[in-house]
Amino acid sequence: MELVAIGCSTGGLRALQVLLRGLAPCPRTAFVVVIHTASADADSLCQLLARDTSMSVQEAQERAPVLPGVLYVAPPGYHLLIGRDQYFYLNVDPKVCFVRPSIDVLFESAADAYRHRMAGVILTGANDDGARGLRCVRRRAGIALVQDPEEAEASSMPEAALSLAGADHCLALAGIASELNRMCLS
Amino acid sequence: MEPDLDEIELDLFVEALRRRHGYDLGQYARPSLKRRVQGLVRQHGLAHIGELTSRMLRDATFLPQVIDGLSVPVSEMFRDPFVFEALRTKVFPTLASYPSINIWQAGCAHGEEVYSLAILLEEAGLYDRSQIYATDFSDAALARAREGIFPVREARAASLRYQQSGGTRTLADYYHARYDLVKLDESLCRNVVFANHNLATDGVFCEAHLILCRNVLIYFNNTLQDRTLALFADSLVRGGFLCLGTKENLALASAASSFATVDGPARIFRSVRAT
């Protein structure tokens, strides 16, 4: 697995922290996170997440390569895309699902670039961003993981993803972590 | 692996637009371009990019909608207030030393930044000797920019950003609200020239003391970024200022050596070209 793309919204920070603590080091996989937040500052988010992982945690930089072993955070206020050249691209196109960055935008571009070599993960959230993106990941032969809505702090995002895209695995955070470990280390 | 039909169709779309209408999007950043073209396909109820290409080729009246959908998007007034604050405190004092000031707003979209800048220049007492050249490659965008009409729901947040930028009055002093729209004072345009200019194909536009081009380069590929930055370097007077978007990087461009950093986070640079 070359890329794991993760989207979350309401309750997302806590969910990410649990997920990261469950992950074994994956030196061959790049992780990219879109989290909806009112903050204009990616630095503090990176610092928070860095407490729970041994990976390097960085803000995704415009026109920088996507490198394995790094956890990237989408900068607030911009959509984050990955090109087929496996570089990051930012843009300020209109909001999608009322948000920017949008999970759909990241997932749809990443699916195009990575196909079966990626997994898309939808965690807790209170809107339906990510559902179309996850469908795109599956259509391009990527793996879809969705947090069990029963466990999610806000269930509508995982529910929307399940109903539009379905999932290869619908699990609690601990289960998502072990499934990712299995995929990334095999 | 099966051939990627979307990629082939996107290439053909770009080729058709260039040959039929002369707009060259071949050097646009591919992922963002693809998303926008797919957005046009959805917006017009078409099945795939090929249908869009066909309609654009045969229906000349369709072109403005295509160009509008592909041009740099709407910004907002006083976006990133700290940038305007930095322009006010770190750039304006130098501009004030010139008897006349030329400013090039490259890729002005609907004009949000033009009006923001005009207001701050006015308050700094510099506007009457300033000439702002606001350019875009979309005539539809230029027409909108000339009108200076924006949704009123954006005005409240813009007022706050105006204050954070160091504005000394209230933003409402500069517009009239009617129903759900606001119209900015036409007097703010008295020293603005709106003109069509395509950064992908056109050359030096003016001799500028300040060039603003925020969140435009992110839509270009690396080659066109280089070309544009070289064009800016050639257009600036020695010591002239360049202001880019807050996530845009000069560092990777070959023109980087033509510029020194004035304010890193605000992405304000200064021409150090030895001529």
Q: Which two tokens stand for residue A14?
A: 């806590």
Domain residue extents for chain A: 3-185
* pLDDT score at A182: 96
Subunit contact B73:A93, Cβ cutoff 8 A: yes
- Does the distance separating the beta carbons of B249 and A63 come in below 8 Å? yes
Strand partners, B196: B136
A17, A132 contact by CB (below 8 A) = no
Are B85 and B134 within one domain? yes
For residues B23 and B105, state if they share a domain. no
Q: How far apart are CA B206 and CA B49, in angstroms?
A: 37
**CB < 8 Å to A84, chain B:** 30-31
From the list A78, A83, A93, the residue facing B247 with the nearest CB is: A78
Q: Has residue B169 been placed in a domain?
A: no
Looking at the fold, whether B135 and B248 belong to one and the same domain comes out as yes
Q: Of the residues B18, B35, B70, which one is the last residue of a structural domain?
A: B70
pTM of the entire predicted model: 0.94
For chain A, positions 105-134, list CB contacts with chain B under 8 A. 105, 108-109, 112
What's the CA gap between B241 and B207, in Å, rounded?
Answer: 12
Domain boundary among B70, B92, B119: B70
Judgement on whether residues B13 and B132 belong to the same structural domain of the protein: no
Range of the domain at B119: 81-148+189-271
In terms of DSSP H, where are the helices of chain A?
Answer: 12-22, 42-50, 103-114, 131-139, 156-164, 173-185
What does residue B224 show for φ and ψ, rounded to 5 degrees? -70, -30
Which CATH number goes with the domain that contains B257? 3.40.50.150
Give B111's strand partners: none
B97, B224: one domain: yes
B74: chain A residues, CB-CB within 8 Å: 94
Cβ contact, residue pair A75, B247, below 8 Å: yes
Residues B60 and B109 in one domain: no
Question: Is the pLDDT reported for residue A75 higher than 90?
Answer: yes
Distance, CA of A57 to CA of B262 (rounded, Å): 28
Residue with tokens 């879109």: A34
Contact call for A90 and B35, based on CB within 8 A: no
Beta carbons of B30 and A63 less than 8 Å apart: no
Could you tell me where the beta strands, DSSP code E, fall in B185-275? 192-196, 208-213, 236-244, 259-263, 268-271
Residue A68: cis peptide before it, omega within 30 degrees of 0: no
Interface touch A92/B249, C-beta < 8 Å: no
Name the domain boundary from B21, B39, B70.
B70
Nearest Cα to Cα of residue B218 among B205, B228, B208: B228
Using CA coordinates, name the residue in chain A closest to B73: A93
**Which of B263, B248, B264, B260 lies closest to B213, judged by CA?**
B248
Positions of E strands within A65-157: 70-73, 79-82, 88-91, 118-122, 143-147
Q: Tens of pLDDT along chain B (275 residues)?
A: 566 899 999 999 999 999 998 888 999 999 999 999 999 999 999 999 999 999 999 998 998 889 888 876 678 899 999 999 999 999 999 999 999 999 999 999 899 999 999 999 999 999 999 999 999 988 889 999 999 999 988 888 999 999 999 999 999 999 999 889 999 999 999 999 999 999 999 999 889 999 999 999 999 999 999 999 999 999 999 999 999 999 998 877 788 889 999 999 999 999 996 55
A27: contact with B, CB 8 A cutoff: no
Residues B29 and B122 occupy one common structural domain: no
What integer pLDDT is reported at residue B140 of this predicted model? 87
Cβ-Cβ contacts under 8 Å for B208 (sequence gap 6 or more): B102, B103, B104, B133, B235, B236, B237, B240
Does residue B101 lie within any of the structural domains?
yes
Q: Which CA distances in Å does B127 have to A99, B120, B210?
A: 36, 8, 13
Chain A, window 61-100: residues with a beta carbon less than 8 angstroms from a chain B beta carbon:
61-63, 75, 78, 81-84, 89-94
Residue B235 in domain: yes
Nearest residue, CB atoms, B218 vs list A83, A91, A109:
A91
Around Cβ A168, how many Cβ atoms within 10 Å?
14
Between A75, A92, A109, which is nearest B31 by CB? Answer: A109
Token pair recorded at residue A72: 């990237």
The C-alpha of A141 sits at a distance from chain B's nearest C-alpha, in angstroms, of: 12
Question: Which has the closest alpha carbon to B227: B249, B251, B205, B254?
Answer: B254
Give the residue numbers of A annotated as catalytic, written as ranges: 9, 36, 129
Domain count, chain B: 2
B101 and B62 in one domain? no
Residue B173, in any domain of the structure: no
From chain B, the residues in CB contact with A94 under 8 A are 73-74
Residue B51 falls inside a structural domain:
yes
Question: CATH number of the domain at A3-185, please?
Answer: 3.40.50.180
Average pLDDT score over residue span A167-184: 97
* Same domain flag for B215 and B122: yes
If asked whether residues B9 and B131 sit together in one domain, one would say no
Q: Tell me: do B115 and B221 sit in the same domain.
A: yes
Is the residue at B168 inside a domain? no
Shared domain for B265 and B226, answered yes or no, is: yes
CB crowding B144-171: b at 16 or more within 10 Å, else e? bbbebebeeeebeebbebbeebbbeeeb
Closest C-alpha to B123, from B80, B87, B70: B87
DSSP lists the bridge partners of residue B131 as B102
Residue B177 lies in a domain: no
How many C-beta atoms surround the C-beta of residue A16 within 10 A?
25
Phi/psi at B176 (5° precision): -115, 130
Q: Do A63 and B219 touch (CB under 8 A)?
A: no
With an 8 Å Cβ cutoff, are A81 and B31 in contact?
yes
Give the pairing type, strands B259-263 and B268-271.
antiparallel
The span from the CA of B253 to the CA of B111, in Å, is 27
Nearest CA in chain B to A76: B247
Query: In this structure, are residues A39 and A76 in contact, taking their beta carbons and an 8 Å threshold?
Result: yes
